[in-house]
Amino acid sequence: MSSINWQQAVYDVIKSGDIKLIGYVPDAGHAALINSAKADDAMREVVMTTEEEGIPLCAGAWLGGMRSLLLMQSSGVGNCVNMLSLQRSARLPMVILVTMRGEYAEFNPWQIPMGSTTQAVLELCGFKVERVESEADAAETVQAAIDFAFNSNVGVAVLLSQKMLGRKKWVE
């Protein structure tokens, strides 16, 4: 499966999961999803100044009856920590797709501290975490995350591994 195809498949399950709002801080690994959202008149996308904004964005949307989802890089998970208390206190359905850094073939050592604690931080904050290592599993895992979150009022994070996403290209 080509990289375009798995990301299209993920976008398709986001659509079929009735997600109407995507909050994001840009990341190269999410670029295709962001472009799909921007090209889709039926999807509202919001670029945020920090990932922390996404937690109350989703919370407010859900109070108003709208399903939403967040896209962020592993470093952004650390920016959310106290705000995640909103999800846990109110038992809000929440889905976060996280592109991983600081692991496979990482070029930038500054990515390692947060990348290596992302899963543990999310779990300590009460999130259920699924990790995707292969393109073939991506859409199914995101679909399961959406079903899990909105059927059971839980926070679910899907970590997209750096090995699957591919090495960051530093020179074009």
Partner 1 sequence: MGGVMLERRAVVAKLLENRDNALVISGLGSPTYDVAAVSPSERNYYLWGAMGGAVMMGFGLALAQPDLHVIVITGDGEALMGMGSLATIGANQPGNLSIVVLDNEHYGETGMQQSHLGMGVDLCAVAAACGFTQACSVTTEAELQTAVSGFHETGATKFLLIKVSPETPPRVMPTRDAVENKITFRRALGTA
Residue numbers at the binding site for partner 1 (CB under 8 A): 21, 44, 46-50, 52-66, 68, 82-83, 85-86, 89-92
Of 9 and 125, which CB lies nearer to partner 1 in the complex structure? 125
Of 58 and 77, which CB lies nearer to partner 1 in the complex structure? 58
Of 19 and 100, which CB lies nearer to partner 1 in the complex structure? 19
Q: CB 164 → partner 1: shortest distance, Å?
A: 30
CB 111 within 8 A of CB 165: no
**DSSP one-letter code for 100:** -
- Count other Cβ atoms within 10 Å, centred on residue 171: 3
Q: CB 119 → partner 1: shortest distance, Å?
A: 23
Q: At 68, which helix (H) or strand (E)?
A: strand 67-73
Residue with token string 């009022």? 153
Distance, CA of 92 to CA of 155 (rounded, Å): 7
Q: CB 64 → partner 1: shortest distance, Å?
A: 3
